[in-house]
């Protein structure tokens, strides 16, 4: 196996693979609460690094999230594992890189379950530790045994109960994909027997209007690209569906629905530890927030959706506080990928963005391999354990979520082991809890076309794979794809992704390239460095 010579790296005073002893985890540490914390993962959709007020947003206020940051920790160098949803979510819940498994790209609404019941998930981690577990909101990881063969009028199997969730109230895919109904514990919620549900991603159902054929029916939101198939609630979608009746969601109520369900769950489960995966539709398209948030920002529907997201966070925090649980609840707030303005609907996101920078000044965005693709807000709040008000610049990746949670529940790693998942690292616990100077030495990310990039300390490598310079189907985003290898260096703490230093630094280029190959070919590669 080729080894990296760390001495060639221009970094000072970093002990790359310092491993924390995992004896007993948080639960038995002195000074920390003896009780296991509740854990709430708040997973926003398409929320960029610059989209929250506490990260410099202009034109929208996010007081509830600002409070979490000022009473907890705010990370400035945290990454989703991919620059789109399904692969990032797959990695978050399983600790496995998405590029190791086929079929983890942006999933259709009739995709089969992508996480198989045999896989070990973060929900399983919590179940083992005696938690009650629940998932709310956007799922986007498939349901049922076979793609396109689900019977939406019956119980879907496998579903979330088969991968560790005791309770679930979810959207099968995204709000812009059919079926447009909530699914509660594997069954359509509020099922309307007078309107059986049929779904196809291949053909329309006879007599059903589409956004393409009947644009006059798009009374709520018109599409800008794509999204011209079935019409639900006056909005065109991806895919075709028929039926649903009173079970069909109204987009303006999605945030209220999932928040109410999560708050109910908190109230009903206040006596025992719980894990909540709260995955919002906000601020994904179609952005159609409730009327009470209209005009909350100066940026139109996209900014108003951020305000709505902030409200959801506030409701969850209030519910925890009311139950006396806030002190010993670990809340993590982050996003599945970077931001996009026009992602297929005429919501005026581009026209109204003003001087706000959704990426916080980074290059690229959703779909891309530049920093804007995967660098996301990341806030950790846990009053019982974490000192408040800190900002951390260490490298953090969502690939470690399962492992860090395992460490928190006190799960013991076998001697020499650092991972309960294929690719995560439980020794990142310290970094997630705010230990000064801690963080990953490296992180791997995947762009929409599967180009991988690797960050190692102050360097970033983007593998040469080729592809269009701009996202080709509508969003005005630079992809970062190139046939040439790209190597960028951090300057004053931030990568300058305009200066490709590959030619000038062949040794460094080789080091990063070899490390990426090592990770690609060997799941536990990084653990063998020590
Ligand atoms: C794209 C959609 C986009 C969004 C994305 C997935 C079109 C033209 N665009 O294909 O609107 O749904 O897929 O986004 O259909 S994600 O955040 O769930 O990955
Ligand atoms: Ca997303």
- In percent, the amount of the chain with pLDDT more than 90 equals 90
Distance (Å) of CA 388 to CA 68, 163, 329, 376, 392: 9, 34, 14, 20, 12
Hey, whose CA ends up nearest to atom 7 of ligand 1?
A: 226
- Give 266-291 pLDDT, tens digit per residue: 999 999 999 999 999 999 999 999 99
Residue-level pLDDT at 40? 99
Distance CA(367)–CA(264), nearest Å, equals 35
Mean pLDDT computed over every residue of the chain: 93
Residue-level pLDDT at 16? 31
Is the Cβ–Cβ distance between 403 and 93 less than 8 Å?
A: no
Distance CA(288)–CA(308), nearest Å, equals 10
Residue-level pLDDT at 526? 57
Exposure string (b/e) for 200-216, b if CB count within 10 Å is 16 or more? bbeebeeebebbeeeee
Compare 18 and 150 and report the one with higher pLDDT: 150
Distance CA(360)–CA(393), nearest Å, equals 15
Residue-level pLDDT at 18? 34
Helical packing angle, 254-268 and 301-322, nearest 10°:
10
Element (H, E) at 518: helix 506-521
- Give 21-52 pLDDT, tens digit per residue: 333 344 444 333 358 999 999 999 999 999 99
Distance CA(279)–CA(90), nearest Å, equals 13
Hey, whose CA ends up nearest to atom 4 of ligand 1?
A: 343
Ligand nearest to the CA of 472: 1
Distance CA(50)–CA(81), nearest Å, equals 18
- Give 331-346 pLDDT, tens digit per residue: 999 999 999 999 999 9
* Class of 443-529 in CATH: alpha beta
For the chain, what are the domain ranges? Answer: 443-529
Hey, whose CA ends up nearest to atom 5 of ligand 1?
A: 106
Residue-level pLDDT at 523? 64
Ligand 2 centroid to 284 CA: how many Å?
A: 6
Ligand 1 centroid to 343 CA: how many Å?
A: 7
Handedness of CA 301, 305, 186, 95 (dihedral sign): positive
- Mean predicted confidence (pLDDT) in 412-423: 88
Residue-level pLDDT at 413? 83
- Mean predicted confidence (pLDDT) in 74-101: 98
* Ligand 1 site residues, Cβ closer than 6 angstroms: 45-46, 84-85, 106, 140, 174, 176, 225-227, 238, 284-285, 337, 343-344, 473-474
Structure tokens at 466: 């080729």
């Amino acid at each position: 196996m080729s080894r990296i010579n760390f001495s060639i790296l221009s970094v000072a005073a970093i002990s790359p693979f310092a491993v924390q002893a995992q004896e007993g985890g948080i639960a038995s540490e002195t000074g920390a609460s003896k009780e296991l914390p509740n854990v709430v993962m708040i997973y926003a959709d398409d929320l960029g690094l610059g989209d929250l007020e506490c990260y410099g947003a202009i034109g929208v206020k996010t007081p509830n999230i600002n409070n979490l940051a000022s009473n907890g920790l705010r990370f400035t160098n945290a990454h989703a594992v991919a620059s789109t949803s399904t692969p990032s979510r797959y990695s978050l819940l399983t600790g496995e890189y998405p590029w190791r498994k086929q079929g983890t790209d942006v999933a259709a609404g009739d995709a089969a379950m992508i996480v198989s019941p045999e896989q070990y998930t973060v929900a399983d981690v919590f179940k083992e530790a005696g938690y009650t577990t629940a998932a709310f909101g956007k799922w986007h990881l498939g349901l049922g045994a076979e793609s396109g063969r689900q019977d939406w009028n019956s119980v879907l199997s496998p579903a979330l109960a088969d991968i560790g969730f005791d309770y679930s109230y979810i959207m099968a895919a995204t709000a812009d994909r059919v079926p447009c109904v909530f699914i509660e514990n594997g069954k359509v919620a509020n099922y309307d027997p007078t309107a059986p549900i049929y779904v196809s991603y291949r053909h329309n159902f006879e007599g059903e209007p589409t956004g393409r054929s009947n644009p006059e029916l798009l009374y709520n939101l018109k599409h800008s690209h794509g999204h011209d198939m079935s019409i639900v609630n006056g909005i065109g979608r991806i895919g075709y569906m028929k039926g649903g009746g009173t079970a069909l969601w109204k987009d303006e109520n999605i945030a209220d629905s999932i928040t109410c369900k999560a708050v109910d769950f908190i109230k009903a489960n206040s006596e025992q530890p719980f894990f909540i995966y709260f995955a919002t539709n906000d601020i994904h398209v179609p952005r159609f927030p409730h009327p009470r948030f209209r005009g909350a920002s100066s940026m139109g529907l996209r900014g108003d959706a951020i305000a709505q997201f902030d409200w959801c966070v506030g409701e969850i925090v209030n519910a925890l506080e009311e139950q006396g649980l806030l002190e010993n609840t670990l809340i993590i707030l982050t996003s599945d990928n970077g931001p996009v303005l026009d992602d297929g609907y005429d919501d005026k996101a581009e026209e109204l963005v003003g001087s706000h920078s959704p990426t916080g000044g980074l290059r690229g965005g959703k779909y891309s391999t530049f920093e804007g693709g995967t660098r996301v807000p990341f806030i950790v709040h846990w009053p019982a354990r974490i000192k408040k008000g800190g900002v951390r610049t260490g490298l953090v990746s969502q690939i470690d979520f399962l492992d860090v949670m395992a460490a928190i529940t006190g799960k013991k790693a076998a001697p020499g082991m650092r991972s309960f998942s294929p690719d995560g690292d439980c020794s990142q616990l310290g970094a997630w809890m705010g230990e000064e100077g801690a963080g990953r030495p490296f992180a791997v990310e995947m762009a929409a076309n599967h180009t991988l990039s690797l960050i190692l300390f102050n360097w970033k490598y983007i593998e040469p794979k080729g592809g269009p310079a701009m996202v080709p189907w509508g969003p005005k985003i630079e992809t970062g794809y190139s046939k040439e290898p790209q190597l960028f260096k951090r300057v004053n703490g931030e990568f300058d992704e305009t200066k490709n230093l590959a030619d000038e630094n062949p040794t460094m280029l080789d080091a990063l390239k070899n490390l990426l190959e090592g990770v690609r070919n060997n799941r536990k590669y990084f653990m063998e460095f020590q």
